[in-house]
Amino acid sequence: MASEFLTSVTVQEALAKIDSIVFEPGQEFAGLDSAGGRILAEDILSAESIPGFARSLVDGYAVVAKDIQGARETSPAFLKMSGEVRIGEPAGAIVREGSCVRVSTGSMVPEGADAIVMQEYVRAMDDEVEVTRPVHKGENIVYAGEDISAGATVMRKGKKIGPFDLGVLAAIGAGRIRVFKRPEIALLSSGDEIVPVDEKPPFGKIRDINRHTVAGLVRSAGSRVEFAGLARDTIEDITEKLSSAAGYDMILISGGSSKGERDHITDSIVKLGGEVIFHGINIKPGKPTIFGRVFDKPIFGLPGHPVSCAMVTVRFVVPLLKRMAGKTPELPVVFAGILTTNVPSSYGIEEYVRVKVSKKEDAYLVEPVFAKSAVISSLSAAHGYIIVPEGVEGLEKDERVEVHPFEENV
């Protein structure tokens, strides 16, 4: 007997139920060559100051700033050359009043100097130089600890490690860092009409689009994903495929989540001792979404239509995946734009409208992409989406809206 279609929940209720899932990701160590994109499992403190010594930011001459006050092209200051500091070597020379020392970019600033004058403003003459412009104290010098001080926390637990973060970790000598393990996600497809992507679909069947779209979103959220099979529309086959995925941290199954005699996902969850937490959300597209627990793991039954499936994954699955990966919760990345046309909507439903964005002078113009939920090309053509709240009946042309860019939110 098929399960009853449960009463739809609001977006807020759905998110609250999803947020109630508790997951403690494991931890492991990663070297810098493999740490990019991983999530820090600990705060990173610097054991040393960066730089460890005062360094010159330019090629030039280390000076005492007051010695060249008022220097100009027609009335240069004269200083005695007292040596040179090569990059990578300790500074042996000392700068005293009336003297200077030649330095290179990155070399140690010698004792006594409090500024560096660029070589473009110096004329060297044997053991003496002419300086044609003044410098202020500290100019062209980065002092010890000015970048990072010893004992400072440079990164917090839960941060996703980006390319620039790798540079900071390299600077402080953190070549091996503790990161969270990536959650292991099982992905299944269901439906008698589905065939693998490398097959030409017989008349009446379609290729498995959702498998590849959802897998890409899962990987972008910092998780590993493995395809666990294509289930036919029988409770026996779906139950068997779900059982084979019992060892994963989460199960995602697309298709078969609509009300009707072909819906066996909810029955399979219950048959395996699981719980259906909700079946249906007041959204468009994606209303027939299933969320529950099985094998004490979260499971989503995603809609079969490609756009519905993708939007539910972005809006509801990805935030949970990021949290399971150990990422610190953050505000979504959005930007404001102006609608180019009216957007109709049904009251009481939160609607996700794909949009294209263009720049005109100092404003972003937001153009809705109106397409049915089975039209996957509309997602590829869109730059992001806007949300029409459930308490309004559409949006009007020239109204200011918030755009959720796909690249930033997945």
- pLDDT tens digit sequence for 237-246: 999 999 999 9
pLDDT of residue 7: 66
CA distances from 347 to 196, 215, 283, 393 (A): 38, 33, 11, 5
pLDDT of residue 6: 54
Which class in CATH covers the domain with range 55-142? mainly beta
- pLDDT tens digit sequence for 143-185: 999 999 999 999 999 999 999 999 999 999 999 999 999 999 9
Residues 6+ apart with CB under 8 A from 249: 23, 183, 184, 185, 223, 297, 324
Which class in CATH covers the domain with range 11-26+182-324? alpha beta
Average pLDDT over residues 376-386: 91
- pLDDT tens digit sequence for 339-353: 999 999 988 899 999
Say whether pLDDT at 233 is over 90: no
SS3 315: helix
Quote the CA–CA distance of 377 and 213 in Å, as a whole number: 12
Q: How far is CA 264 from the centre of its chain?
A: 35
pLDDT of residue 204: 87
Residues 6+ apart with CB under 8 A from 331: none
CA distances from 61 to 73, 85, 142, 400 (A): 17, 10, 15, 55
Query: What topology is assigned to 335-405 in CATH?
Result: Beta-clip (2.40.340)
Predicted confidence band of residue 259 (pLDDT cuts 50, 70, 90): low
pLDDT of residue 262: 46
Query: Which residues of the chain does CATH 3.90.105.10 include?
Result: 27-48+153-180
pLDDT of residue 261: 36
Query: Which residues of the chain does CATH 2.170.190.11 include?
Result: 55-142
pLDDT of residue 372: 79
Q: Which of 182, 191, 391, 203 is nearest to 309 (CA)?
A: 191
Which burial class, exposed, middle or buried, applies to 44 when counting CB atoms under 10 A from its CB (0-12, 13-18, 19+)?
buried
Q: Which region among 253-257, 293-297, 382-386 has the lowest average model confidence (pLDDT)? A: 253-257
Q: Give me the chain's average pLDDT, please.
A: 92
pLDDT of residue 263: 73
Q: May I ask the CATH architecture of the domain 27-48+153-180?
A: Alpha-Beta Complex (3.90)
CB atoms within 10 A of CB 136: 10
Q: How close are the terminal C-alpha atoms of the chain, in Å?
A: 38
Tokens representing residue 405 in the block: 């860019």
pLDDT of residue 400: 96
Q: E strands within 156-223?
A: 176-180, 184-190, 194-195, 206-207
Query: Which residues of the chain does CATH 3.40.980.10 include?
Result: 11-26+182-324
Say whether pLDDT at 2 is over 50: no
pLDDT of residue 333: 86
Prediction pTM value: 0.84
Q: Which residues of 384-404 are buried (b: 16+ CB within 10 A; e: fewer)?
A: bbbbbebeeeebeeeeebebb
CA distances from 121 to 60, 76, 79, 124, 269 (A): 9, 10, 13, 10, 77
SS3 20: coil
- Above pLDDT 90, what percent of the chain? 83
Average pLDDT over residues 118-138: 95
Say whether pLDDT at 409 is over 70: no
Residues 6+ apart with CB under 8 A from 358: 364, 365, 367
Query: Which residues of the chain does CATH 2.40.340.10 include?
Result: 335-405
pLDDT of residue 264: 87
State yes or no: cis peptide before 90, omega within 30 of 0.
no
Quote the CA–CA distance of 136 and 215 in Å, as a whole number: 57
- Above pLDDT 70, what percent of the chain? 96
Four-CA torsion 95, 99, 105, 106, nearest 10 degrees: 0
Radius of gyration of the chain (CA): 31
